[in-house]
Structure formats: structure tokens, C-alpha cells
Amino acid sequence: MFGINKKVIAVIFGVLALAFVVGSVLLFTPQGQRNTQGKIELTVNGRPVYELELARAQQNDPILSTNPQGLLKKLAEINFGDRLIVITALTQDTARVRVSSGELKKEIDTIKERFGLQKKEDYDRFLTQVGYTDSQLRNELRDQIRINKRIEEIQNKAEPTEEEMRLYFELNREQYKNEERVQARQIVLDDKATAEKIYAEVSAPGADFAAIAKANSKLNAEQGGALGAAAGKGEPGPVTRVVFPNAVADAVFKLRDGQISKPIEAGGRFYIVKVEKYLPAGDVQFEEVKDRVKEDAKRIKGNGALEAYLEGLRAKANVKFAQEATFKFENPVVAKVGDAEIKLSEVTQVVFANPQVPQLVQQGLGELAVQFFMPQTLEQLINREVIYQAAKQLNQPFFGSKSDIANQAQQWKTRDITVTEAEVRKYYDSNLANFTIPASAKVQAVNFKKEDKAKAEAFRAAALKGGKLEDLAKANSGTVEDFGVVNPGTMPPVPNRLVFLTRGTFPKGSLGEVSEVVKLEDGSFQVLLVNDRKAEVLRPFEEVKEQARQQVLATRRAEAAQKWVEEVRKAAKVENNLQKVLTALTPKEESKQEEPKTDPNPPSSNPSTPANPPANR
């Protein structure tokens, strides 16, 4: 539904490196004289930020460290500066959090272990290289521990109410549904002949499956083969598919009360399973899963508490730049939704957190990244704010971060949407590929040089007779390549065509199916060995009906949510000034250079649609 998720929180806490993160600061802090911290650049709530610590922090910023120019530099500075203010205010706010000597020692020991600093002289040399004294390092670590403790404290205090938990349960019933389960007993044996003999015994009228399991099974024998039984008990409890190997589960969950499976081979063993009771998937009551719901709701409410705490620190921060500061920035408002403001740093936080952006910056395509990502990111943030404000009018106990509340509001508005079996069947028939188990095979290849066709032929003849693959390959100057278990389209073209697009199978020997000698595109030769070949299988409708229903339902609800968002967006008072702000921030030299340029195909005036979006994002 809503696209931002929890990125804002993730981005803010990614910047804890500005305080201290072992690995980034220690690896990339510039070496040199550290006799002075330099002049004061700015103060946050009276706490000075010195020239040296500012330079260190800038060098660890993934964008500023690339020495960007023009508009990109301005945006990176705003993004960096806002995060610096938050982390400085956070460090101040946690200054009284107690850190024990044991906690600090643990962190120091972690650094020593990570960098192989076993001797005191190694540690001292290391500190000199990274420009820290032992005292400075300990102070930085102490700050980091305090911050982590405060975060944990805030999240732990966020207890969901009964009303919030019930709402969360109602909106997420599907994730709390019982899976289909069975109460069953099994007999596990080591060979097929014994398995067939035992199967005949348990299938006889009046046979005592539990007693036969106790006398013969290699697993669970003492409990009469009972699965899911309590310790020391012999009565089976409900179990899901995960307790069985896949092949066994597929067979077992087709059985119903009292039915017994034929011997099923899996992992070199043979399983005979009796289903005493089949329990279909279905809804549960809130009280049955209340503990799970509370755990999930607490995590979400903790995210909201953390977001509110950080926003409060940012709002209350008193920032003053030194008169001769070399680093100054303003954080302009780029959009409004009613009275709520969205500042430029909120957009850059999400944009610069996108892993593609630093890559594009390294390639000299930073401006393109800004052009493409910023308008669409701002549109997402505007939509989030619009939905957040609309959620307040629904009079429901939504909770968590703004993104969580936006998601919950959309779930609430679409909660009554259902789908018919006819719609599900139609979807299944139109999307058979979604419900098809692809063909598969275990494939190994033996490769030969261009001049070794005769050796390839000799290897093939030997492989059909049998032997150890590695020895046969080595004897004929071939090299073994193991593709593992593969599906169509996952191997190079020639072996893929031979295994999956050629009718029939290859001649079979003790090593498996052995292909003809084939010539590859580069002129070399190859022989394939194929085992465990399985054909493509379309899963029947009844088997995947619930999966198909969920897919159709998700699509219907997403469409309805989008329609509702469009409606509340039209009713909201939205002001988007991104392009105006970016133009104002663009250095005049760039603007003058760009003025003479004309474009025969001018870009769309819609700021959410980039003129030339990068291909294949």
C-alpha cells in the first residue's frame, strides 16, 4: 500500500556513524596532526561542534565524501547538516544515561578483536593512525552506548493498549490464521523393502499403527511415532508442513482422517504416515493469538514513539552558526499539506538512503539521480501526510509511525472488500505461470578445451560405463562444473537448451543421464550429466486456491486504497514547491550555463514525472 514504509527512521539511525561507528570512522578518519579541534563551526543547544569533528563526520558521509558540486553539493550539505543536528541533540539528551565500565570494556574489546589489536603497542599504534586518543575513543563509545540505551528504553516503554491490539488484529487477520495442520503418526525406515513390508502390516484391518511404529520406526519410536507430542506423552499434537520433508508433506496433506500414506522416499529414508485428524486452515480468535499480536503491535508502537522522540529533538534544537563558519545551511520547506510542512531534508533522507544514489554519484550521474528520485519521493511524502491527516478523521486507534498509521488507515478503508470463488478461478486460469512448479534437474558439466574433442568423446564413453566423475574427468583433461539443481533459464544457453528445450532424455549410466559431446559458442566442448530430472507441474486449483485468493484480494484492496488516496488528495490543500526550491539552490553559474540550452521535447510540467528517468531502475 503506502510506499515509504519505515525508511525515515532507518535513515536517521543510519547516521549514528556521525557519533561513532567502528569500521567507518576508524577506517576513514584522515590521518595527521590532532593537536587542536579547530574553531567552533556551530552550536546545537549550546553544545559546540568543532571544525575537526565536522570534517570527520563529512568525510564519512557517502555523498559529501565524493566532493559533489553545484546543486548536488547543496542538497548533500542540507541532508548532512540536519542529521548532524539530530545526532548532536540526541547525544546531549542521553548524556546522563549511565554506562558501566563493563559495558565500555566490552566495546573496546570488540574493536581490539575486529582489528587484531592483541598487544598494547598495537592498540596505541592504531589510535595514532586513526587520530584518536584512548580517552576520545572511550568518550565516543560511551555516547554510542547511551544512545542505544535510550532508543531501547523508548521502544520498550511503548505498550499497546487493548484497543490498539484488537484493531491491529482485525486489520491483519490473515497473518494470524492457522495454517492447515495434521495430528499424525509416522514410521521412518531405512530401506524400501522394509517400508513396503511395514506398509502392508499397518494397512491390514485392525492394525495398531502406534504399536508397529514403536517396534520399527527409526524416529519417534518411543512415542509410537506421534508427531507434536508433549515430552513423555504418546498422543500426537497438531503439526504443520514444516515438520516433514517436502515430498512427505505434499503427500501427507492430501490425506484425511484415518488415511495412511504409501511409503514416501525423502533424504534416503522412507516415511509411512497415518493422519489421525486433518485440521484445515482457518480463522482464530483474538484471545488465541493475543501474545503474538501484542509483540507485533509493541514493535510498531515503539517505532512510532521513536519517530516522535526524534522529531521532538529536531523541533526543539537551537542551532546557531558561528559568524565565520565555513559550513552553513538552510532547510527550506518544499511542500505543505494543510498546515503541516515537509522540509527538504525529509526528502533527501529518503533519496540518499536509496543504494542506487551513491552509485550514480560515483558515476558522475548525481544530478540525474536528483532529477529522477526527488520528485517522486516528495510525492510519496505528500501522500503519506495526506493519508495521515485523513486517518485522524476515521476515529480509530491507529498507532505507530506516520507510515504505519497511513498503512493502517488504508487497511481500514479496504477491510470489507471480498472476492468470489469465480474471480479467484478466473485469476488462476489467467495466471497459470504463478502456480506452476518449474521443471528442474541436477546438472553437472565436464568442460574440454577446443583441441580436446576426442578426449571429450572418450570421457562420455567412460561416463556411460560408470566410475568416479572427478577421476574420469581428470583422466581425459576435463574440468567439472557443478550447476547444482537448476530451473529453465538459469544456465548458459547451450546447456539450458539441451536440458530443458530438447525432447526426450539422454542415455543413462550409473552417473546419470550423459549428453552427447556439444560444441560451445567459444569452440570448446562440454558433456552434461543430468540427475533428478523433474517435469514442469501445474499445481491444481484446489491446492492453491487460498494462495490465489490472497493475490486477488491484495490486488482489489490496493486498487481501492489507491482510489481512496486520490479522493483525499483532491480534498486536501497541497502545495508543492520543490522545483522552485531546487532552482533557488542551484548556483547561479550553473543556471547561466543552462539558459541558452533549448529542448525540442520539453519535459512534462508534472513535477512527479521525471523528464528522462533512468532506464531499468
Q: Model confidence over 451-500: pLDDT tens digits? A: 999 999 999 999 999 999 999 999 999 999 999 999 999 999 999 999 99
Q: Model confidence over 97-132: pLDDT tens digits? A: 999 999 999 999 999 999 999 899 999 999 988 878
- pLDDT band at residue 543, thresholds of 50, 70 and 90? confident
What pLDDT score was predicted for residue 371? 85
Q: Model confidence over 210-250: pLDDT tens digits? A: 999 999 999 989 999 999 998 888 899 999 999 999 999 99
Evaluate the CA torsion angle 357, 361, 365, 367 in order and state its sign. Answer: positive
**Separation of alpha carbons 250 and 260, rounded Å:** 13
What pLDDT score was predicted for residue 613? 33
DSSP 173-202: HHHHSBPPEEEEEEEEESSHHHHHHHHHHH
| DSSP E strand boundaries for 491-601 | 508-509, 512-514, 518-519, 525-534, 537-538, 574-576
Residue for cell digits 514416501? 264
> For 444, which DSSP code?
E
The enclosing H or E element of 587 equals: none
What pLDDT score was predicted for residue 590? 55
Mean pLDDT over the full length of the chain: 88
Q: Model confidence over 148-189: pLDDT tens digits? A: 999 999 999 999 999 999 999 999 998 898 889 999 999 999
What pLDDT score was predicted for residue 602? 37
Mean pLDDT of 67-81: 94
pLDDT of 515 higher than 70 = yes
The most distant pair of C-alpha atoms in the chain lies apart, rounded to whole Å, by 96
Mean pLDDT of 507-528: 95
DSSP 349-389: HHHHHSTHHHHHHHTT-HHHHHHHHHHHHHHHHHHHHHHHH
What is the length of the chain?
A: 617
Q: Model confidence over 35-54: pLDDT tens digits? A: 467 899 999 999 999 998 89
- pLDDT band at residue 20, thresholds of 50, 70 and 90? very low
